[in-house]
């Protein structure tokens, strides 16, 4: 969706393409299946006592991807900040596979 230095030459040669879009529009495109999501790789906090994990600071696109993906693979990270925003939590039961890796 975004062109950075890593892709600019490829795009300019006509060997690649991109869809210009505002970041705020991506969740809606995912929910409408205009951007299909088969597998979502996400990072969360440790689960709380009720089995909820925080998406931390990456609620922008990740929440929609989790809701639409057939498979969700999660990296549990004890350093992930826990958001207080209710929309940033997902239930542990909605995850297909877990991986634990603590990174700052």
Both ends of the chain: CA-CA distance in Å? 27
Write down the pTM of the prediction: 0.70
Q: What are phi and psi of 61, to 5 degrees?
A: -110, -30
Please give the radius of gyration of the chain, using alpha carbons only, rounded to the nearest integer.
Answer: 16
Give the Cβ contact number of residue 57 at 10 Å: 12
Q: Select from 54, 79, 48 the least CA-distant residue to 66.
A: 54
> CB within 8 A of 31, min separation 6: which ones?
64, 67, 68
Per-residue pLDDT of the chain (104 residues; tens, 9 = 90+): 677 888 888 888 989 888 788 888 999 999 999 999 999 888 888 888 888 888 887 677 888 898 899 888 888 888 887 876 666 777 666 666 666 666 66
């Amino acid at each position: 969706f975004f062109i950075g230095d890593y892709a600019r030459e490829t795009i300019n040669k006509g060997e690649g393409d991109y869809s210009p879009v505002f970041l705020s529009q991506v969740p809606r495109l995912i929910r409408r299946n205009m951007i299909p999501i088969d597998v979502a790789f996400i990072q969360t906090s440790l689960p709380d006592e009720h089995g909820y994990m925080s998406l931390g600071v990456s609620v922008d696109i990740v929440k929609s991807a989790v809701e639409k993906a057939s498979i969700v693979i999660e990296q549990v990270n004890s350093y992930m900040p826990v958001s207080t925003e209710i929309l940033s939590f997902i239930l542990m039961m909605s995850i297909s596979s877990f991986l634990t890796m603590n990174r700052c």
